[in-house]
Amino acid sequence: MKFKHKLLTTPDTWSLTIIRVMLGLVIWPHGAQKLLGWFGGHGPAGFMGAFEQVSGLPGFLAWLVIIIEFVGGICLIVGLWTRIWAFCILCLFIGIILFVHLPYGFFMNWSGNQAGEGFEFHLLVIGMAWALVVGGAGSLSVDKAMHANLRAF
């Protein structure tokens, strides 16, 4: 019970709510591209092939990426198990930097003059996810409601 209490405790603040919802709204469509083929994505088969080719990691790990982005994105939007999903996203994006984007440097490829994308966007995601791991879900979250129920009993 003590772990669950610490996991769900969150201050009643709008700053964490904004970070949580915005991060979820950015991450979820990437998961939807990979899982459902929406928003110009290629679905699971297309993603798994590209994942193996680009990262050199086994294809079954692609499903972990899909779950973290799709399910984790939805859970962040509603504020369910925020610290867990934020930690998963944080770890995922560290891996994305190390296995894919590190060779291309810091900056995104806005002008199209480099072979790949840099990792500046990924650092922003890591920073937002870390804020949620430390601070919790904030206001208007399922976590906050679940914590209130824990205290009632």
Confidence of residue 149 (pLDDT cuts 50, 70, 90): confident
At position 35, the amino acid (one-letter code) is: L
DSSP states along 66-89: HHHHHHHHHHHHHTSSHHHHHHHH
Look up the pTM and report it. 0.91
For 132, the token pair is 């949620």
pLDDT at position 151 is: 66
Least confident of 30-39, 72-81, 114-123: 114-123
What's the chain's average pLDDT?
92
Closest of 71, 86, 76 to residue 35, by C-alpha: 71
CB atoms inside a 10 Å sphere around CB 72: 27
Contact 17, 76 (CB under 8 A): no
Q: What does DSSP assign to residue 100?
A: I
Mean pLDDT of 140-145: 92
Site of tokens 């994505």: 41
CA distance 131 to 87: 10
CA distance 57 to 100: 11
Segment 36-94, tens digit of pLDDT: 999 999 999 999 989 998 888 888 899 999 999 999 999 999 999 999 999 999 999 99
Collapsing DSSP to helix, strand or coil, 54 comes out as helix
pLDDT at position 35 is: 96
